Amino acid sequence: MTAPFRIRPAQPADGAALVRLVNGLAGFEKLAGPDAAAARRLVDDAFGPAPPFAVLVAEVDGEVRGYALFFYGYSTFRAAPTLWLEDLFVDPDVRGRGIGTALMQAVARTAVAHGCGRFEWSVLDWNEGARQFYRGIGATILGEWLVCRVEGDALARLGAPA
């Protein structure tokens, strides 16, 4: 029998587990995780006086093994808030127990409670397992929308004084 789990808001004591899970997600996505300074900022931002995002965690046998990190935006077309899921990750050895679904349901309940007109996120085109999971919970994958990003030196140039 698999151990039961619970979904709850992250607490300051979960900071190290959050960083570990973010690094797990980065490794899965073949990206560099946060360096030590970024990890400190992440924890400070998560549990500071005015967090720019919210985090739910999945706890299995008293240990944080998954998380969902999200924040709010606004849809001008719907004239309503939107909820953007930045990260969803469950440790590979506890997958298949419904933890990912439970995290998504908890985030969706949050979106509904806040009057959001949409709940959105992105998925890597090569991650067919995640794409199947998202379709299975009722998501539509919008192939016509492409993510745009400006970062690093390009962001500095774009944001430089005129």
Domain membership of residue 14 as a residue range: 5-158
The reply to whether 72 belongs to the active site is no
Per-residue pLDDT of the chain (162 residues; tens, 9 = 90+): 566 999 999 999 999 999 999 999 999 999 999 999 999 999 999 999 999 999 999 999 999 999 999 999 999 999 999 999 999 999 999 999 999 999 999 999 999 999 999 999 999 999 999 999 999 999 999 988 888 999 999 999 999 998
Closest CA to 16 of 51, 32, 40, 33: 40
Q: Specify whether the backbone of 120 is left (phi greater than 0), alpha (psi in -120 to 50) or beta.
A: beta
pTM over 0.85: yes
Pick the catalytic residue: 67, 72, 74, 134? Answer: 134
Residue 135 tokens, joined: 């379709």
Q: What is the CATH classification number for the domain harbouring 87?
A: 3.40.630.30
| Overall number of domains in the chain | 1
